């Protein structure tokens, strides 16, 4: 079952949820991931309890950034420019796409590492539409691209795709036959071969950012697959798309943030933490600086607002800007464990999805689906940033009730 578009209508979403309750593959995929997650997350926090302390520190840091966003935004922009990056602030999704269009142009080969904000601005589809060849390089996101669907979790996007379906997608969409496809290793090997070729020849690499240090302009990315290192390191142009809420004051804060994010989705220690500071360069010959030694010669950073600045002024929604997008609230939510990202909004799913939908598309847009929240508070309990997700969703229910004249 492929979910191509997620509706914001209660009845549509409920219909789709009830449909997937009858889809054994989908259910099995979620169940396996949830079981693994429950086991691993317990291990991570038993072994590394100091992560709770780090989360608390980041929570406070992010609160202060939210209250002084303009200061930190200016600081980050200045720091990144100083290091040779081209920095842009995009007010809307459309602005962001337009900026990227100007950087990329047409008939290019583009490789992307998984980024929820790229999903938010519909970047891959847009780049394809204007005449580029675009490939996702995160395995899960790549499979989602092949099925022309929607990621079902921000970190584990293909949570709903079984090995059988993955092999079938490769064969049907790319003509790649996987020998002995019962072995997941064989599927991974074939995807690696296919994507290596694309990455090697790509004109542009596009990534997100897990955190950005305002003091240095350093961009932090966390991953296991190694695709981010290649996407951000091999093509001659690298574009970073990110939300302004990813800015934190310092390198140390940025490091703590990625640690907390990785741990809360039970990927700990993460295989790689990538830190990018400006485009690649060398001054080895006569101290003359030349950009593009082995890495990209251009680095473009698009800082996206898309409703975030308005949220800064909102009593409830501003709380969501502390989100590190670990997606733990999803995987712990009893409704999400049935629905996956079918519930939440067109981009972000689950409890955080409802609130991010309110930020990026408007409160009224998110308000109908808010009524599928149990108010059980499990999301709040596990959220490393202690975002009162259930209370914010309750506020959105109130927005719906007012809009429909249920309460005067």
- Residues 17, 130, 184, 293: which binds another protein (CB under 8 A)? 17
- Binding of another protein at residue 28 (CB under 8 A)? no
Q: In whole angstroms, what is the distance from residue 212 CA to residue 345 CA?
A: 26
- Residues 95, 371, 386, 388: which binds another protein (CB under 8 A)? 371
Q: How far is the CB of 256 from another protein (least distance, A)?
A: 24
Which CB atom, from 153 or from 308, has the smaller least distance to another protein? Answer: 153
- Residues 7, 95, 338, 365: which binds another protein (CB under 8 A)? 338
- Residue 127 CA: distances (Å) to CA of 75, 119, 122, 136, 376: 30, 12, 9, 12, 40
- CB contact at 8 A, 270 and 222: yes
Concatenated DSSP letters of 53-71: HHHHHHHHHHHHHHHTHHH
For residue 258, the SS3 value is: helix
Q: In whole angstroms, what is the distance from residue 365 CA to residue 374 CA?
A: 19
Listed ranges 16-24, 91-99, 138-146, 212-220: which one lies at the site for another protein (CB under 8 A): 16-24
- Binding of another protein at residue 285 (CB under 8 A)? no
- Residue 328 CA: distances (Å) to CA of 77, 197, 319, 341: 30, 34, 16, 13
Phi first, then psi: give them for residue 345, nearest 5 degrees: 150, 175
Enumerate residues 375-404 that contact another protein by CB under 8 A.
375-378, 380-382, 394-401, 404
Q: Which residues of 208-217 are buried (b: 16+ CB within 10 A; e: fewer)?
A: bbbbbbbbbb
Which CB atom, from 134 or from 399, has the smaller least distance to another protein? Answer: 399
Q: How far is the CB of 3 from another protein (least distance, A)?
A: 17
Q: How far is the CB of 241 from another protein (least distance, A)?
A: 34
- Binding of another protein at residue 314 (CB under 8 A)? no
Listed ranges 14-22, 70-78, 213-221, 253-261: which one lies at the site for another protein (CB under 8 A): 14-22
Q: Of 377, 384, 375, 269, give the one whose Cα is nearest residue 326.
A: 384
- Binding of another protein at residue 185 (CB under 8 A)? no
- 174: how many CB neighbours lie within 10 A of its CB? 12
Q: Of 155, 154, 151, give the one whose Cα is nearest residue 143.
A: 151
**Is cis: bond before 269, omega within 30 of 0?**
yes
- Binding of another protein at residue 328 (CB under 8 A)? no
Q: In whole angstroms, what is the distance from residue 72 CA to residue 303 CA?
A: 12
Q: How far is the CB of 72 from another protein (least distance, A)?
A: 32
Listed ranges 151-159, 244-252, 320-328, 332-340: which one lies at the site for another protein (CB under 8 A): 332-340
Enumerate residues 82-111 that contact another protein by CB under 8 A.
none
- Binding of another protein at residue 283 (CB under 8 A)? no
Q: How far is the CB of 408 from another protein (least distance, A)?
A: 7
- Binding of another protein at residue 81 (CB under 8 A)? no
Alpha carbons within 13 A on the beta-carbon side of 357: 29
- Residues 7, 8, 10, 92: which binds another protein (CB under 8 A)? 10
Which CB atom, from 99 or from 372, has the smaller least distance to another protein? Answer: 372
**Cα 61 to the chain's mean position, in Å?**
21
Listed ranges 6-14, 89-97, 171-179, 261-269: which one lies at the site for another protein (CB under 8 A): 6-14
Which CB atom, from 293 or from 338, has the smaller least distance to another protein? Answer: 338
What residues have CB less than 8 Å from 296, skipping those under 6 apart? Answer: 205, 232, 233, 235, 236, 237, 238, 279, 280
Residues that bind another protein (CB under 8 A): 10-11, 14-15, 17-18, 21, 38, 332, 334-335, 337-338, 368, 370-372, 374-378, 380-382, 394-401, 404, 406-408
């Amino acid at each position: 079952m492929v979910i191509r578009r997620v509706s914001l209508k209660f009845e549509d979403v409920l219909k789709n949820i009830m449909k997937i309750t009858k889809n054994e593959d989908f259910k099995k995929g979620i169940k396996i991931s949830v079981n693994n997650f429950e086991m691993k997350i317990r291990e991570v926090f038993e072994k590394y309890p100091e992560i709770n302390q780090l989360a608390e520190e980041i929570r406070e840091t992010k609160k202060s950034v939210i209250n002084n966003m303009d200061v930190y935004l200016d600081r980050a922009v200045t720091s990144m420019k100083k290091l040779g990056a081209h920095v842009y602030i995009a007010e809307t999704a459309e602005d962001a796409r337009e900026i990227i269009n100007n950087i990329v142009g047409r008939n290019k080969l583009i490789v992307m590492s998984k980024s929820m904000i790229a999903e938010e601005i519909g970047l891959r589809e847009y780049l394809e539409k204007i005449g580029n060849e675009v490939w996702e390089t995160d395995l899960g996101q790549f499979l989602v691209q092949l099925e022309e669907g929607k990621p079902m979790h921000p970190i584990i996007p293909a949570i709903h795709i079984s090995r059988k379906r993955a092999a079938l997608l490769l064969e049907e969409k790319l003509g790649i036959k996987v020998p002995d496809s019962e072995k997941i290793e064989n599927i991974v090997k074939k995807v690696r071969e296919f994507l290596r070729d694309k990455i090697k020849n790509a004109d542009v690499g596009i990534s997100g950012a897990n955190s950005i240090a305002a003091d240095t302009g350093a961009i932090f990315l966390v991953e296991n697959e190694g695709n981010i290192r290649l996407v951000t390191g091999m093509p001659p142009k690298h574009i970073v798309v990110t939300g302004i809420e990813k800015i934190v004051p310092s390198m140390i804060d940025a490091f703590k943030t990625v640690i907390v994010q990785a741990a809360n989705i039970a990927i700990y220690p993460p295989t790689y933490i990538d830190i990018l500071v400006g485009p690649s360069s060398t001054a080895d010959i006569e101290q003359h600086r030349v950009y593009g030694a082995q890495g990209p010669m251009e680095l473009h950073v698009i800082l996206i607002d898309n409703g975030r600045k308005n949220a800064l002024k909102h009593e409830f929604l501003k709380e969501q800007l502390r989100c590190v997008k670990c997606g733990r609230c999803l995987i712990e939510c009893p409704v999400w464990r049935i629905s996956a990202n079918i519930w939440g909004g067109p981009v972000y799913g689950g409890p955080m999805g409802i609130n991010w939908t309110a930020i990026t598309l408007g409160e009224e847009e998110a308000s109908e689906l808010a009524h599928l929240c149990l108010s059980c508070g499990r999301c709040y309990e596990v959220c490393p940033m202690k975002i009162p997700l259930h209370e914010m969703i309750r506020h959105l229910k109130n927005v719906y009730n007012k809009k429909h004249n249920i309460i005067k």
